[in-house]
Amino acid sequence: MFQLLVAGLTVGSSYALVALGIHIVLRATRIVNFAQGEFTIIGGLLALTLVQLFHANSWFALAGATIAGFVLGLIFERLVLRPAARSGEMAVTIATLGTVFILLYGHALIPGWGSLPQPLPAFSGDAADAIALGSVSVQVQSLWVLGLLFAALAALYVFFERTYFGKAIRAAANNPTGAKLVGIDVTTARAVSVGLSIALAAYGGTIIGPITLVGGAGGTAIAIKGFVGAIVGGLESPAGCVAGGLLVGVTEKLIQGLPGVSYGLSDPIVYSLLLVGLLLRPQGLFGLPSAVRD
C-alpha cells in the first residue's frame, strides 16, 4: 500500500508539473496547451542527449534540459500560439494539437532519440537502487523526484510572489489591459509564461526519466493526466494543480495495484472516473472555478 503510494506520488510528480505548466499558460494566455505532455517527453530526451554527448552529470543535464525547455517555450509561443490566437480559441487548440504531431513524430527523426523509450541515468547511484523505509523499499530516485518537485515549487513561489518580474507576469495575466496601462509589457509576460511552463515540463521529464524511461509515445497521456489533475485540483489554484496531479498519480497506481485489474486498464479507469467526477463537480474537487467556463 505504502509502496503504491510512493510510486503514485512519483509518477504524480510529472503530472503535477504538467498541471502547473498548463495552469501558468492558461492564466497568462487563456490557452490550454495540449502539447504539454509532449514537451515533457522532449525534455527527458534533451537531458539524455546532454548525458550521451557531453557525459554531463544528472544535475548539469537537468539544468540544460530546463533551460532548453524555456527557449523551446519561447519559440513555441512566438511561432505557434501567437499567430494562431488571432483566429480564435478553436484555432489555438488545433495548433497545439498540430504541435503534438510535430513533437510526437518529429522526435523519432532525431539521431539518438528514435521512437523507442530509453533509460536515463539515475540522479544518484543506479536506477534500481532502493532504500528501506520501515518494511518497504523505496527507489532512491523517487525521493529525488519528490524533493526536486518541491524545490521547483519553492522556486516558482519565490519567483511569482517575491520578484518584481514574477508579480508583473501575474498582473499581466489577471488584467492585461490594466497591466498595459501601468507599463507592463504584456506580450513579453505572456512569452515568458509559456517559456516557464515548457521549462517546467522539461524539468519534469528529466527528473522522472530514470524511472519511466524517456522518449516514446506517452506524451498525450501525460498531458491528459496533467490536465485532469489541474481540473481536479482547481485550474485557478497552483497548489490545487500540484495536489491534483499527485492525486491522479496515486489513483493510477492504486488502481494498478487492485487484484484483477490489468496494467493497461488503469488508464481507461482513471479517465472514466475523472470524466464522471468532472460531470458531477465541474468546479473541481477543491472548489473554485468551473470547468464549464471558457
Partner 1 sequence: MSARLRADTRTLPVLALIVVAFGVLAAGNPTLAQAGTYAAIFALAAIGLSLLMGNVNQISLGQAGFFGIGAYAVAALTTAWNLPPWLSWPLAALIGIVTATLVGLGLGFIALRFRGHYLAMATLTFGLICAGIFHEAKFLGGAIGIEDIPYPRFGALTISGYPAYWFAWILALATALLTLNLLRGRSGRAFEAIRNDELAAEVLGVPTRRYKILGFAYAGALAGLGGAVYAAFLGIVVPDAIGVQLSISLLLMVVLGGSGGVSGALIGAALIGFLDITGHQFENTREVVYGLLVILVVSAAPGGAFGLIRARLGAAPRAPQPALPATRSVTRTIPAPAGGAPLAVSHLTTRFGGLVAVNDVSFELTRGTLTALIGPNGAGKTTLFNAISGIGNLSEGRVTIAGIDVTGWQPHRVAALGVGRTFQNARLFGEMTVLENVVAGAFRTERTSFGADLFALPSARHAERAAGDRARHTLARLGLEPLASTLAKDLAFGDRRRVELARATASDPWLLLVDEPAAGLNAGERAALTTDLLSLRDAGMTLLLIEHDMRLVMSISDRVMVLKFGTLIADGAADTVRDDPAVVAAYLGTAN
Q: Does 287 bind partner 1 (CB under 8 A)?
A: no
SS3 114: coil
| Complex with partner 1: residue 103 or 246, whichever CB lies closer | 103
Q: Does 102 bind partner 1 (CB under 8 A)?
A: yes
Q: Does 224 bind partner 1 (CB under 8 A)?
A: yes
Least CB distance to partner 1 at residue 34 (A): 7
- C-alpha–C-alpha distance, residues 49 and 27, integer Å: 32
Is the Cβ–Cβ distance between 211 and 130 less than 8 Å?
A: no
| Complex with partner 1: residue 183 or 294, whichever CB lies closer | 294
Residue at grid coordinates 479517465: 271
The amino acid at 46: L
Binding mask 257-286 for partner 1 (x = CB under 8 A): -----x-xx-xx--xx-xx--xx--x----
The angle formed by the CA atoms of residues 162, 154 and 203, to the nearest 5 degrees, is 120
From 51-59, 78-86, 178-186, 195-203, span contacting partner 1 (CB under 8 A): 78-86
Contacts of 167 (CB under 8 A, 6+ apart): 160, 161
Binding mask 24-43 for partner 1 (x = CB under 8 A): -------xx-x---------
Among 5, 94, 136, 213, binds partner 1 (CB under 8 A): 94
Radius of gyration of the chain (CA): 19
Q: Does 291 bind partner 1 (CB under 8 A)?
A: yes
Closest CA to 36 of 93, 82, 90, 83: 93
Contacts of 90 (CB under 8 A, 6+ apart): none
As given in the structure block, the three cell numbers for residue 267 are: 488508464
Q: Does 91 bind partner 1 (CB under 8 A)?
A: yes
Task: By CB under 8 A, name the binding residues for partner 1.
Answer: 31-32, 34, 79-80, 83-84, 86-95, 97-102, 104-106, 108-109, 115, 220-221, 224, 227-228, 231, 262, 264-265, 267-268, 271-272, 274-275, 278-279, 282, 291-294
